[in-house]
Structure 1
Amino acid sequence: MLESTVKINHVRKTFKSDNESIKVLEDFNLAVKYGEFLTIIGPSGCGKSTLLKLIAGLDLDFEGEIMIADKSVHGPSKDRGFIFQEHRLFPWLNVEKNIAGNLSLKDPDIRSKVDHLISLVKLKGFEKAYPRQLSGGMSQRVAIARALLRNPKVLLLDEPFGALDAFTRNHLQEALLEIWEENRTTMILVTHDIDEAIFLSSKVVVMDAKPGRIKGIVPIDLPYPRTRISKAFQEYRTVILKYLDHQDNEIEDWSI
């Protein structure tokens, strides 16, 4: 078993326009362990979503190196699943066909995997439903199942619950944890929600902006399932808020 699934070494990313160059990421270094649930949080414009796209291989215009299971990223691959804020389902396909994608449900192995994933994301009975018949939360469950079908080494989640109401968001957070605990797929989540980061993650990376870099890393040493109103949970919330609010580059160690 590999010690790290994702290695990000000295990554720099610059957006160039006619009149100026904007540093989005500067000397970014991070290792994500096999089976880890890591969340990246930070202010708007700090490069969180850009970083996910680099890991996914959707943008190759950067300096440095990104490795997945000791292989350099040179483009998109089935070893990386990506969940966007919008579910991006095909409206002309039903649930099971959206999950299968270009793979045939007539293949017994594919059929079995799709059935298992439908059960895993708790959509039994909705196999033949179309996206227009699903709620936003149900649609995101389909998107997660579709991303898991090809057994990715890493699942990248770019604020997947950001557009959902609070009740649905909390419900899907719990569902995502169940999926992670069963599959132990390495997950990297981007969010603006501190409580979501603490509730889900084994580690939270706090980013600074302009240019984007790591301001602090907070391991979350709490057993699952977690209670948002517990004293320990609130202490972690305070730690992360201090990182986000602190303006100096040199910051003290606020690890609990």
Structure 2
Amino acid sequence: MANPLLEIEGLSKRFVGAKGTVTALQNIDLSVREGEFITIIGPSGCGKSTLLRIVAGLDTQYAGSVELEGSPIDKPGIDKGFIFQEHRLFPWLTVEKNIASDLSLSNKEVRRDVDELIELVRLQGFEKAYPRELSGGMAQRVSIARALLRKPKILLLDEPFGALDAFTRAHMQEVLLEVWRNNRTTMLFVTHDIDEAVFLGERVVILKPRPGEISRIVPIEMAYPRKKTSPDFQSARLKVLSQFESVEEPVFTQGAGI
């Protein structure tokens, strides 16, 4: 078996504050293959976002080992794309210039790549639009294209669709899967929504809180594209739901995330 793209071993993270020390993550072991789509779910406060920040190199104060292609992650870099819940676009730049960001569109290679990404995330006709003229889903598509332009080895997504309405969220899930199928960029996707985790992920990592530890890793053995109304999907969803029995204080409702 080939070496994993991302290897996390014995990861623990503690925060020291006025009220004492809080252990956010403890004994996290996770191997991620190149091109794999991993979704991460768990109750609020279980350290999902902290885990992504560490993999992104935004937080380097931790115990354990976190390596990308065999090298320790000790700083941010273009090899690790990060998509936040809010789009964080530059309001004074158009869609195409937001995607290019610090790169010049006068460069033929950059121009070609930006045009290809605009088509991939279905934003044709909005190249000259400004963020204020876009819907929430469209703005997130710009964020995804901007991250992909740098050709990252891994794309980290921290509840990127959490603020969207149900219809837009479902559409964005389809867009993201299309991006993944075309680019095969390795993805770590944090969500509170069980349906979303099962719909997107090849494996679902379930975290439990206080301290944040991996409770289960559930493989989703379904081919793409997936239909949420299919018996196979409902079976996989119930399989994931059943694993929450050992998670402390699970908070979820029928048809909603945790």
**TM-score normalised by the chain length of structure 1:** 0.95
- Report what 1:216 is aligned to: 216
1:14 aligns with 2:26: no
The DSSP-based 3-state class of the residue aligned with 2:210 is: coil
Offset from partner CA, 1:53-75 (integer Å, 9 cap, x none): 00000111111111111111011
Q: Distance in 1 between matches of 2:159 and 2:195?
A: 13
Q: Is the contact made by 1:12 and 1:62 (CA closer than 8 Å) also made in structure 2?
A: yes
- Report what 1:99 is aligned to: 99
TM-aligned CA distance change 1:191 to 1:247, over 3 Å: closer
- Report what 2:255 is aligned to: none
- Report what 2:162 is aligned to: 162
Q: Distance in 1 between matches of 2:227 and 2:55?
A: 31
Q: Distance in 2 between matches of 1:213 and 1:99?
A: 36
Percent identity, aligned pairs only, is 56
Offset from partner CA, 1:170-195 (integer Å, 9 cap, x none): 00000000000000000000001111
Q: Is the contact made by 1:2 and 1:34 (CA closer than 8 Å) also made in structure 2?
A: no
Tell me the CA shift for residue 246 of structure 1. Answer: 2.6
Misfit runs of 4+, over 4 Å: none
Tell me the CA shift for residue 2 of structure 1. Answer: 5.4
The DSSP-based 3-state class of the residue aligned with 2:127 is: coil
- Report what 1:253 is aligned to: none
Q: Distance in 1 between matches of 2:16 and 2:39?
A: 28
Q: Distance in 2 between matches of 1:19 and 1:177?
A: 43
Q: Distance in 1 between matches of 2:43 and 2:238?
A: 16
Offset from partner CA, 1:25-70 (integer Å, 9 cap, x none): 0011100011000000000000000000000001111111111111
Unaligned runs of 5+ in 1: 249-256
Once the two structures are superposed, the pairs formed by residues 169-188 of structure 1 within 5 Å of their partners are 169-188=169-188
Q: Distance in 2 between matches of 1:51 and 1:158?
A: 10
Q: Distance in 2 between matches of 1:247 and 1:158?
A: 21
Tell me the CA shift for residue 231 of structure 1. Answer: 1.5
Once the two structures are superposed, the pairs formed by residues 1-256 of structure 1 within 5 Å of their partners are 3-247=3-247
How large is the Cα RMSD of the aligned pairs?
Answer: 1.2
Tell me the CA shift for residue 207 of structure 1. Answer: 0.7
Q: Distance in 1 between matches of 2:121 and 2:212?
A: 34
Tell me the CA shift for residue 155 of structure 1. Answer: 0.2
Tell me the CA shift for residue 18 of structure 1. Answer: 2.2
Tell me the CA shift for residue 160 of structure 1. Answer: 0.3
Number of residue equivalences: 248
TM-aligned CA distance change 1:247 to 1:169, over 3 Å: closer
Offset from partner CA, 1:185-235 (integer Å, 9 cap, x none): 000000011110111111100111100011001111101110111112111
Q: Is the contact made by 2:215 and 2:246 (CA closer than 8 Å) also made in structure 1?
A: no
Which residue identity lines up with residue 59 of structure 1 in the other structure? D
